């Protein structure tokens, strides 16, 4: 089955809004993955639970094209305001019945 994989790098507190947007359009499967650190437009960052620095998560879902388009439309207004990174890829799902 052909589908879309959507990934969003998001600050931990904002992840609830991404999940709520997914829930509102009927996305039934997604994951929130923790991150350790990285480098972006504002330099190097690292999740630091010791100092209370805000951690980042990666929201990942695989869904049909129509739902992917709807979720991208729902998330797009947040991209610039919160420096989110959103990517969408074409994928082939082996167990298509799960979706």
CA angle 55/51/59 to nearest 5° reads 5
Nearest to 7 by CA among 98, 85, 95: 85
Position 13 in a domain: yes
Q: In which domain, by residue range, is 66 found?
A: 2-92
- Which helix (H) or strand (E) is 56 found in, with range? strand 56-63
Handedness of CA 75, 8, 32, 47 (dihedral sign): negative
Reduced to 3 states (helix: H, G, I; strand: E, B; else coil), residue 49 is coil
pLDDT in tens, 5-23: 999 999 888 999 999 999 9
pLDDT in tens, 19-38: 999 999 999 899 999 887 66
Q: Could you tell me the CATH number of the domain that includes residue 42?
A: 3.30.70.120
Position 19 in a domain: yes
Number of domains observed in the structure of the chain: 1
Position 98 in a domain: no
pTM across the whole model: 0.84
Position 97 in a domain: no
Handedness of CA 64, 70, 74, 75 (dihedral sign): positive
Query: What local confidence, expressed as pLDDT, does residue 20 receive?
Result: 97
Position 62 in a domain: yes
């Amino acid at each position: 089955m052909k589908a879309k994989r959507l990934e969003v790098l998001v600050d931990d507190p904002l992840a609830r809004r991404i999940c709520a947007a997914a829930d509102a359009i009927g996305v039934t499967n997604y994951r929130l993955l923790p991150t350790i650190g990285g480098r972006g437009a504002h330099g190097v960052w690292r999740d630091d639970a010791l100092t209370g620095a805000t951690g980042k998560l990666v929201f990942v879902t695989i869904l049909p094209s129509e739902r992917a388009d709807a979720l991208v439309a729902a998330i797009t207004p947040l991209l610039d305001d919160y420096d989110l990174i959103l990517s969408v890829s074409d994928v082939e799902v082996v167990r298509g019945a799960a979706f």
